[in-house]
Chains A and B, each alone.
Chain A
Amino acid sequence: SQKIEQNSEALNIQEGKTATLTCNYTNYSPAYLQWYRQDPGRGPVFLLLIRENEKEKRKERLKVTFDTTLKQSLFHITASQPADSATYLCAPMNTGFQKLVFGTGTRLLVSP
């Protein structure tokens, strides 16, 4: 069955450093991969989408990579800030109807 793995342990980093979050998937060949941010008590908010033929996508301080050989996506936040503290969810997606399967998320804590 399809499996999406994100590190369940929280990632603690210091302000100003680069945070790197990992999303691995198995038994799956997604055409796209989306990343969302979720704050406590709120719904997820869309951040970035990357296609299988794109190696890398950037948006301001965010960068996402997509390696279909390794079956992995990496999500980077450069110059991290305490306001970046949240849970980050990856969601691979096939073509066709836009149904997402979400990973369980990784909690990021950025200390001042």
Chain B
Amino acid sequence: DVKVTQSSRYLVKRTGEKVFLECVQDMDHENMFWYRQDPGLGLRLIYFSYDVKMKEKGDIPEGYSVSREKKERFSLILESASTNQTSMYLCASSSRDRGVQPQHFGDGTRLSIL
């Protein structure tokens, strides 16, 4: 079974701090994704990566950056945390095998910015 592990389930940080959220997958997937999920807005794509050192902006990249130095690890960085970044953050991975492949999600990090 695919396992996507997010480093923290809950995290509390202060406004202005630099915040790192880590995600590791164990299935050698090429594609990795970061989403945030807010009530009434659903899952929104922040950034994705289809290969090591490659990254693409999603629908809401402002205030975030990402890093993918190794295939299994995809980090989300909040450069200067703000209260409107309080949210549930979900990481996912998928294979680039032939055909459409499902995304496999971690259990999320609930981030609170005070």
Q: What residues of chain A have their CB less than 8 Å away from a CB belonging to chain B?
A: 8, 32, 34, 41-46, 49, 51, 89, 93, 97-105
Contacts of B105 in A (CB 8 A): 43-45
Task: Identify which of B40, B42, B101, B106 contacts A102 (C-beta below 8 A).
Answer: B42
Q: A34-B102, A49-B102, A93-B100 are in contact. Are A103 and B107 (CB under 8 A)?
A: no
| Assembly CA distance A97 to B50 (angstroms) | 9
* Beyond A43-B105, A44-B43, A46-B104, 18 additional pairs, beta carbon < 8 A: A8-B40, A32-B100, A41-B108, A42-B107, A43-B106, A44-B103, A46-B102, A51-B100, A89-B43, A93-B100, A98-B96, A98-B100, A98-B101, A99-B45, A102-B43, A103-B42, A104-B40, A104-B42
Query: Which of chain B's residues has its CB closest to A45's CB?
Result: B105
Q: Which chain B residues in 1-58 approach chain A with CB under 8 Å? A: 4, 31, 33, 35, 40-43, 45, 48, 50, 58
Secondary structure of the A side of the interface?
A: loop
B66 within 8 A of A: no
Contacts of B33 in A (CB 8 A): 99
A43 touches B40 (CB 8 A): no
With both chains docked as a complex, state the minimum distance between the C-beta of B83 and any C-beta of chain A, in angstroms.
Answer: 22
B100 touches A49 (CB 8 A): yes
With both chains docked as a complex, state the minimum distance between the C-beta of B41 and any C-beta of chain A, in angstroms.
Answer: 7
| Assembly CA distance A32 to B103 (angstroms) | 14
With both chains docked as a complex, state the minimum distance between the C-beta of A46 and any C-beta of chain B, in angstroms.
Answer: 4
